[in-house]
């Protein structure tokens, strides 16, 4: 195989993996997870643009509500116990929370592609932290996993 046709083959594969094969990821809403009580799991998730996220009401007394998205990015606001599926096309950081358990640190971070809005996300997280009484370090820990 010549180097040009090999390169074409690799480009074709790369294109197929980013456009045709968008992945679905699942995030559970839990009373008790590996990060402790009242947690999303996984609470930090890095995905590709166009991937789909499904929030599963594994335990029922929770919701998922996006509170910070990239410019033109999707936002969502699920009811209590609602299974929510969103497709995230816009690159950047998304922050979300469980409304009744924000004070207990039930928050999560999704990174889609490049984190061009990381500084804005950190500023928003700072404001959220004022409403978090328990598990105050979670949000920062999740944001520290962004790269
Ligand atoms: Cu909750």
> Does the CA dihedral 117-105-62-55 come out positive or negative?
positive
Enter the CATH code of domain 22-143.
2.60.40.420
Distance 138 CA to ligand 1 centre (A): 14
Give the per-residue pLDDT at 119. 98
* Helical (H) or strand (E) element with 54: strand 51-56
Mean pLDDT of the chain: 92
The pLDDT of residue 69 is above 90: yes
Which residues lie below 8 Å from residue 120, measured CB to CB, with a gap of 6+?
A: 68, 93
Question: What is the CA angle 51-56-57, rounded to 5?
Answer: 155
Residue 109, CB-side half-sphere exposure with 13 Å CA sphere: 25
Distance 30 CA to ligand 1 centre (A): 7
- Band of residue 31 on the pLDDT scale cut at 50, 70, 90: very high
Mean pLDDT of 56-68: 97
The pLDDT of residue 89 is above 90: yes
Give the per-residue pLDDT at 21. 82
Distance 61 CA to ligand 1 centre (A): 6
């Amino acid at each position: 195989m010549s180097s040009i046709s090999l390169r074409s083959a690799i480009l074709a594969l790369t294109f197929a993996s980013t456009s045709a094969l968008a992945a679905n990821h699942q995030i559970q809403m839990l009373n008790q997870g590996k990060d402790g009580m009242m947690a999303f799991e996984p609470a930090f998730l890095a995905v590709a643009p166009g991937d789909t996220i499904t929030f599963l009401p594994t335990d029922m007394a929770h919701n998922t509500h996006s509170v910070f998205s990239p410019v033109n990015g999707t936002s969502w606001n699920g009811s209590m116990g609602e299974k929510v599926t969103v497709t995230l096309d816009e690159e950047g950081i998304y922050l979300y929370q469980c409304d009744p358990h924000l004070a207990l640190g039930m928050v999560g971070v999704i990174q889609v592609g490049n984190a061009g809005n990381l500084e804005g996300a950190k500023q928003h997280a700072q404001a959220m932290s004022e409403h978090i009484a328990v598990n105050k370090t979670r949000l920062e820990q999740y944001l520290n996993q962004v790269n």
